[in-house]
A and B are shown apart, each in its own frame.
Chain A
Amino acid sequence: MKSMRRFAALCAVFCIGNPLTAAAATTLYERLGGAPGVHAIADTLIDRAAADPVMGRSFADVNLGRVKRLLAEQICELSGGPCHYTGSPMREAHAGLHISQAEFYDLVATLQHVLEERRVPLGARNQLLGLLAPMKRDVLGADAPAP
């Protein structure tokens, strides 16, 4: 009886503290920091990419404020937030830029750093990258004729 009570107490502590249970209770959007978090992620990522000697070429003369706003919308929508992405499809947005595989992975690595700096939990980081990864085909293949 005593051991049963101890188990119940342990279970209560463990179950409430279980990160998997906590993760299921909040959306990815919330774990990214909600609207302020998502905007900060988009702003920092675009600022760093635009300042990068290699990636920066794709942002020359580009209205960065618009790109940040649309990227924030896109991450918000993908992560289950209350947004609707109003930008162009990825293939059209990247047409003519001839993005290389190296540039794509540079951007992924930059995003990883931004998420780590903002102390986004590992599970949330991986979940976001998993949602963005399928865009690689359209970003790199933007200059091929549309399928």
Chain B
Amino acid sequence: MNVRTFGLALIATAACAQARAAHLTIEVSAPDGTAARDAIVVVDAQDAVAGPAHDKASVDQVNKQFDPQINVIRTGSTIVFPNHDQIHHQVYSFSAAKRFELDLYAGSRNKSELFDKPGLVVLGCNIHDRMLAFVAVVDSPYFAKLPASGTAEFDLPPGRYTVSAWHPELGALSKQPVTVETPPARLMLTLQAPAGYDPVAAWPE
């Protein structure tokens, strides 16, 4: 095998490794052992950087509440803020990752904001101070907001990753290492919020 052929073979092997998907299951529990529903999990590759996404999401205002109240999007995504109430809302964020203020009237359906920096964004309404929502903006393409089962499934290239989990009340875990190969990997995490848990400061990404 000459050097050139060897080089091609190496590239082919690398391409195969890229195409081969491994499976990772993440299961997150609350301190009492129940499923950590609505927790956000993010799987970060240790050496890969994904480009920005151009996804679209929606955070509605219904009966003086945000819906959904917990959100996760990729950096570069846009969120539209439809107001389904007949009253005026004024949605704002003072978070470093995204500062904005939107006047939303009855029938406001199309006002949107671009989230182009990673971080945790806390949404409020100037008029109704009990309205609260979180938008986690993440660089990784591998993330989930956990359903009632508290588990998320990922197909991703074999390799070494870190996994972070976060919930506004239940606690947070930062960058737990996991190696994903074949056979499928399973990572089980248990959240434990310390006394005086500050969900904003605890954002692990």
Contact = CB atoms under 8 A, between A and B. Distances in A.
A95 B128 contact: no
A93 B85 CA distance: 13
A35 B157 CA distance: 65
A26 interface: no
Contact of A96 (B85, B125, B129): B85
Interface residues of B, number: 15
B153 interface: no
Contacts of B85: 96
Contact of A63 (B86, B103, B127): B127
Nearest to B63: A61
A61 B85 CA distance: 14
Interface string A78-116: 000000000010001101110000000000000000000
B87 interface: yes
Contact of A95 (B87, B90, B126, B129): B87
A95 to B, nearest CB: 6
Contact of B128 (A61, A88, A96, A97): A61
B126 A63 contact: yes
B105 to A, nearest CB: 6
A61 B63 CA distance: 10
B88 A61 contact: no
A96 B104 CA distance: 12
Among B64, B103, B105, B130, the one with the most A-chain Cβ atoms within 10 Å of its Cβ is B105
A147 to B, nearest CB: 15
A63 B128 contact: yes
A62 interface: yes
Contacts, number: 34
A139 to B, nearest CB: 13
B64 A61 contact: yes
A96 B128 CA distance: 14
Interface in A7-33: none
Contacts of B130: 61
A134 to B, nearest CB: 21
A83 B128 CA distance: 24
Contacts of A61: 64, 128-130
B12 interface: no
Given A61-B64, A88-B103, A95 B88 contact: yes
A143 B86 CA distance: 9
Contacts of A97: 87
Contacts of B129: 61-63, 66
Given A61-B64, A88-B103, A93 B88 contact: yes
Interface string A111-147: 0000000000000000000000000000000010000
Interface in B136-167: none
Interface of A: 61-63, 66, 88, 92-93, 95-97, 143
**3 A-B pairs closest in CB distance:** A96-B86, A96-B87, A63-B129
7 contacts: A61-B128, A63-B129, A92-B105, A93-B88, A96-B85, A96-B87, A96-B88
